Structure 1
Amino acid sequence: MNWFVVARMLGMLGLLVGASMVFSLPWAFPAVGKVETFEHDGFWGLIGAIACSLGLGGGLYLWGRFDKHASILRKEAFATVGLGWILAGVLGALPFLLSGSESAPGVKLTPIDAFFESVSGFTTTGASLLTELEDPDLVPRCVMFWRSFTHWLGGMGIIVLFVAILGQLGAGGKAMLKREVPGPITESVRPRVQESALLMWSIYVALSALETVLLMLAHVPLYDALCHSFGTMATGGFSTHNASAGHYNGGPVEAIILVFMILAGVNFSLYYLVFRHRKAELTWKQRIKFLTRDPEFRAYLALIGVTSLVLTISLMANEIYPDTLTALRHSLFTSVSIMTTTGFGSEDFSNWTEFSKGLIFLLMFVGGCAGSTAGGIKVIRWVLLGKIFFLEIEKAFRPNVVRPVRLGKSVIDDRVRNDVVVYFCMIMVIFLSSWLLLITIEPDDLWAKHDEHTAAEKLIDCATAVASTLNNIGPGLGVIGPADNYSGFSQQGKALLTLLMLLGRLELFAILVLFSPQFWRKQ
């Protein structure tokens, strides 16, 4: 492990995070942020956070310059990604702490609380500890903007942005990019890593800008339009309103958010394939075929359609809503929000039927497409797992059959098949062990405070908390439903859930290797 290389990379990352905080400063002023008075605490809290980030980043960079000619290899790439996300979480927590933000009236955010909120933003989880999102006396609007902006930075990946800006990182840059755009099959849409990173960020910025404009045309103020675009395109889910997307009571705003959640859950490489032949004589019908031919994209839309239909039937059968259109609207929005791991809520699904809540819990383990901003296991892994299952079943009665697993026209080699099975096993082991640990460390008082909950429901609520943070979704069931938050969990519980957010966002390995003694050895 070359620590000079890692320090240099982390230093530049710290500088990037610090510079990103500058965009939140204007919202402290009445003329820009539409606040009644100048947000003194928020502004100077951000200034202090910027100074700390630039100071730490600059110090690490200068230290790393002692060996400025060393190249970043695979080990250094893993260390940069894993430690980089932790560093971003620490630096991102400073505005909350230095501004004196409160999770509830009279309850200051602790360092663990601020780190939880920051990591939740960068990992696009959207799990929050804040109880009154619309009260600037608790959290200044400029800090709330930073909270949403962390979504946008983490959505496409701060390391992808890092690679896009700096480039020329060789094989290490490719390893860093792969950890940021995870999935069982990762192919660069361009031969050069920097071009691939720039391409993905260009598409990301364009879609974010388009959504912001459309929301403003639907009479959403610029501040709210930006924050909700950040949360949508990053599939994060932080909102500026306590009622989340339900604040807008349906209509065009909810429809716009719904469409862009679906777009954000699609593999961004497919967008490149659609638009890359600008000079070729291709009709739009021929361009769209790049999408429709993709097995993962088809499965992604099919899952959204089927789950929405099943939820609608369940809700109507139990007379939860008065008409089919309302039931379909909430079913579709919730299915897309959970499956893409966005976490926006149009309705409190904690009040739905037990079957509906069970289906939502299962959706937490699906996720969007590989190469998207969505978290979760990813649709492509479920498609491959299904093919592997059917092949193994056939081999049970035809042991001599030789048939490769195919995805479209591509043959999946044994290494990828093994990786898929191992990943599923690791997710289940981490989920079950974290669930039992959370049940152990959390006091029963949290559930006793809720009249409608009993200590027996602690098992389900802890399971959804683990599933929601591990898959970067945000809301869960029970005490962490769409109308509630994670503020009632103990400090050790919040620390565990924060670790799960990082594990889920980086698909386990970039964080797990940090706990391996062999990883840190020179040879």
Structure 2
Amino acid sequence: MNWLLLARLLGLLGMLVGGAMSLSLPWAFPFAGQVEHFEEKGFWGLVGAIVFALVIGGTLYVVGRKNQGTVLRKEALAIVGLGWILSGLLGSLPFLFAGVQRAPGVPMNVADALFESISGFTTTGASVLTELEDPVLVPRCVMFWRCFTHWLGGMGIIVLFVAVLSHLGAGGKALLRREVPGPIAESVRPRVQETAMVMWAIYVGLSGLEALLLVAQGLSLYDALCHTFGTMATGGFSTYNASVGEFGGGTVEATIVFFMLLAGTNFSLYYAILRRQEPGRGILHRLAPVYRDPEFRAYLGIIVGASLLLTLSLVRTGIYENAGVAVRHAIFMSISIMTTTGFGTEDFNQWSEFAKGLLLLLMFVGGCAGSTGGGIKVVRFLIFIKAIRVEVERAFRPNVVRTIRLGGVPLDNTIRHDVIVYFSLVLFVFITSWMVLAAIEPDAQWQATNGDVNAAKLLDCASAVAATLNNIGPGLGVLGPAENYSDFSAPGKLLLTLLMLLGRLELFAILVLFMPSFWRTQ
């Protein structure tokens, strides 16, 4: 392991995070339109966090500044894993320095702040804050930073890191490969820095468009930006306790639905659309890469199917006064959960058990590879289903050799192996974490209506693990859209924080950090 190179690059990343915090400072002033008076505690809390981040980042950079080594596989994994941990640690400082209270009279402790920060960066959207709309408990400038961590983590702080640093060379390719989720990480351009810049340019462009549309529909610039961050990053942090339900449907909700759908799509498809500019060809020719992509078709098919099933369930149970309202909520929640955004318009804990079970399944599916969404990813499910089909056929035709194809392209056997291993590892992590969380959480935290405390606790712990591992945020039971994670113990919050990192970095970049052999020089 090249420790000096690691220190230098982590130092640069730390300074990048500290610089990003400065963009939240203007929202402490009354002209920002969210507060009547200067938010002194929030402002100076952010200033203290900025100075701390710059000092830590600068110190690390000075230590390793003379090392100009190459980023190899080990260094790439270490920079990605440790970089996200460092960003989460530094990002938690504004909550602590500004004295943010997770509930009236209850200041955030270290576990709370770290949970909130990493939930933001990993675009999970899980929260321990109970009163989002009270600027006394949560200063608006700190709330803006909370939402901004979503946007930084959405496309990936490491992708941004690669985009702004030109001297990484070929080493940047290893970093980008660990950042772009999914088993098939294709570069949209041959040079890795250009790839990172193109993806960030598309991300910024879509974000700017959504923010403008939300402002045009009556939202303040503050609310428009915060909800844009949560939408494009598929994170789900809101500035209101009622989340998107605060806006009462209409065009604002429709706009957010549309951009959630875009955020859950592979961003390389957007570049493919932009570069297909041939004279005399129409819009269908330009959109060909999208509708020919098997993952995108499956992605839309699952959303349509889930929306239809949820609508039928809501209509049958008669929760809403008419079918139109049921359709609206079904579509919104299907897309919100499928893309792992986690915005809410309704408390789906009041829905039928079938509807809640369907939403739980959507949590594991997630968005497309190369999107800002979490979950296992649609393409992995496609490959997994094809692999199972091949293995079943092999049971009665052992001599037949089948090549798995996706979109007409044959897949290497290593991809099939990697997908099966990933499914197995996700299942193992889910079950293990579920049992550990159930063991460390006190039974007194749960009050089941049927008197069976342990039964409710098992469901709630399973929901918490699924929601954090898949970077969703809200879950079932005590973690529904109207609830939060504030009642979990400090050890429980730290475990769930680790699961957020595992889910966002697709397990391996975090798991290798716990292997002693990873840190050896040879």
TM-score by length of 1: 0.98
Q: How far 1:112 moved relative to its partner?
A: 0.9
**8 Å Cα contact 1:447-1:453 kept in structure 2:** no
SS at match of 1:59: helix
Q: How far 1:280 moved relative to its partner?
A: 4.7
User: Which one is further off, 276-285 or 333-342?
Assistant: 276-285
Tell me, in whole angstroms, the C-alpha distance in 1 between the residues paired with 2:438 and 2:139.
34
**8 Å Cα contact 1:11-1:60 kept in structure 2:** yes
Mapping for residues 481-500 of structure 1, pairs under 5 Å: 481-500=480-499
Q: How far 1:451 moved relative to its partner?
A: 9.4
Tell me, in whole angstroms, the C-alpha distance in 1 between the residues paired with 2:280 and 2:16.
41
Tell me, in whole angstroms, the C-alpha distance in 2 between the residues paired with 1:365 and 1:510.
20
SS at match of 2:446: helix
SS at match of 1:103: strand
Q: 1:452 to 1:106 in 2, by over 3 A?
A: farther
Contiguous gaps of at least 5 residues in structure 1: none
Q: 1:280 to 1:20 in 2, by over 3 A?
A: farther
Q: How far 1:444 moved relative to its partner?
A: 1.2
SS at match of 2:475: coil
Alignment-derived partner of residue 237 in structure 1: 236
Contiguous gaps of at least 5 residues in structure 2: none
SS at match of 1:308: helix
Alignment-derived partner of residue 391 in structure 1: 390
Alignment-derived partner of residue 2 in structure 1: 2
Question: What CA deviation, in whole Å up to 9, does each residue of 1:401-436 have, x standing for no partner?
Answer: 122000012111110000000000000000000000
Q: Is 1:311 equivalent to 2:310 in the alignment?
A: yes
**Could you tell me which amino acid in structure 2 is paired with residue 46 of structure 1?**
L
**Could you tell me which amino acid in structure 1 is paired with residue 73 of structure 2?**
R
Tell me, in whole angstroms, the C-alpha distance in 2 between the residues paired with 1:168 and 1:308.
47
Alignment-derived partner of residue 350 in structure 1: 349
Q: How far 1:211 moved relative to its partner?
A: 0.3
Q: How far 1:456 moved relative to its partner?
A: 2.1
**Could you tell me which amino acid in structure 2 is paired with residue 461 of structure 1?**
D
**8 Å Cα contact 1:33-1:141 kept in structure 2:** no
Question: What CA deviation, in whole Å up to 9, does each residue of 1:81-103 have, x standing for no partner?
Answer: 00000000000000000000000
Alignment-derived partner of residue 22 in structure 2: 22
**Could you tell me which amino acid in structure 1 is paired with residue 103 of structure 2?**
A
SS at match of 1:362: helix
Q: How far 1:366 moved relative to its partner?
A: 0.2
How many aligned residue pairs are there? 522
SS at match of 2:241: coil
Q: How far 1:201 moved relative to its partner?
A: 0.2
Q: 1:4 to 1:281 in 2, by over 3 A?
A: farther
Alignment-derived partner of residue 66 in structure 2: 66
Q: How far 1:70 moved relative to its partner?
A: 1.4
SS at match of 2:289: helix
SS at match of 2:170: helix
Tell me, in whole angstroms, the C-alpha distance in 2 between the residues paired with 1:451 and 1:108.
33
Mapping for residues 287-436 of structure 1, pairs under 5 Å: 287-436=286-435
**8 Å Cα contact 1:102-1:130 kept in structure 2:** yes
SS at match of 1:70: coil
Mapping for residues 77-88 of structure 1, pairs under 5 Å: 77-88=76-87
SS at match of 2:125: coil
**Could you tell me which amino acid in structure 1 is paired with residue 357 of structure 2?**
G
SS at match of 1:448: coil
**8 Å Cα contact 2:374-2:470 kept in structure 1:** yes
User: Which one is further off, 451-460 or 293-302?
Assistant: 451-460
Q: 1:9 to 1:431 in 2, by over 3 A?
A: same
Mapping for residues 251-270 of structure 1, pairs under 5 Å: 251-270=250-269
Alignment-derived partner of residue 13 in structure 1: 13
Q: Is 1:476 equivalent to 2:475 in the alignment?
A: yes
Mapping for residues 109-188 of structure 1, pairs under 5 Å: 109-188=108-187
SS at match of 2:432: helix
Alignment-derived partner of residue 36 in structure 1: 36
Q: How far 1:324 moved relative to its partner?
A: 1.2
**8 Å Cα contact 1:442-1:493 kept in structure 2:** yes
Q: Is 1:54 equivalent to 2:64 in the alignment?
A: no
**8 Å Cα contact 2:277-2:286 kept in structure 1:** no
SS at match of 2:223: helix
Tell me, in whole angstroms, the C-alpha distance in 2 between the residues paired with 1:370 and 1:181.
8
Q: 1:473 to 1:196 in 2, by over 3 A?
A: same
Question: What CA deviation, in whole Å up to 9, does each residue of 1:44-68 have, x standing for no partner?
Answer: 000000000001101100101132x
Question: What CA deviation, in whole Å up to 9, does each residue of 1:263-287 have, x standing for no partner?
Answer: 0000000000001133654321101
**Could you tell me which amino acid in structure 2 is paired with residue 440 of structure 1?**
A
Percent identity over the alignment is: 64
SS at match of 1:66: coil
Tell me, in whole angstroms, the C-alpha distance in 2 between the residues paired with 1:153 and 1:281.
39
**Could you tell me which amino acid in structure 2 is paired with residue 386 of structure 1?**
I
Tell me, in whole angstroms, the C-alpha distance in 2 between the residues paired with 1:410 and 1:452.
55
Q: How far 1:171 moved relative to its partner?
A: 3.2
Q: How far 1:449 moved relative to its partner?
A: 8.8
Mapping for residues 443-522 of structure 1, pairs under 5 Å: 443-448=442-447, 454-522=453-521
Q: How far 1:453 moved relative to its partner?
A: 8.4
**Could you tell me which amino acid in structure 1 is paired with residue 285 of structure 2?**
Q
User: Which one is further off, 12-21 or 316-325?
Assistant: 316-325
**Could you tell me which amino acid in structure 2 is paired with residue 475 of structure 1?**
P
**Could you tell me which amino acid in structure 1 is paired with residue 236 of structure 2?**
G
Alignment-derived partner of residue 439 in structure 1: 438
Q: How far 1:317 moved relative to its partner?
A: 1.0
Tell me, in whole angstroms, the C-alpha distance in 1 between the residues paired with 2:318 and 2:223.
34
**8 Å Cα contact 2:310-2:355 kept in structure 1:** yes
**Could you tell me which amino acid in structure 2 is paired with residue 164 of structure 1?**
A
**8 Å Cα contact 1:168-1:194 kept in structure 2:** no
TM-score by length of 2: 0.98
**Could you tell me which amino acid in structure 2 is paired with residue 44 of structure 1?**
W
SS at match of 2:189: coil
Tell me, in whole angstroms, the C-alpha distance in 2 between the residues paired with 1:395 and 1:79.
40
**Could you tell me which amino acid in structure 2 is paired with residue 289 of structure 1?**
A
**8 Å Cα contact 1:161-1:197 kept in structure 2:** yes
Q: Moved runs in structure 1, 4+ residues, more than 6 A?
A: 449-453
Tell me, in whole angstroms, the C-alpha distance in 1 between the residues paired with 2:433 and 2:269.
35
**8 Å Cα contact 2:313-2:354 kept in structure 1:** yes
**Could you tell me which amino acid in structure 2 is paired with residue 301 of structure 1?**
L
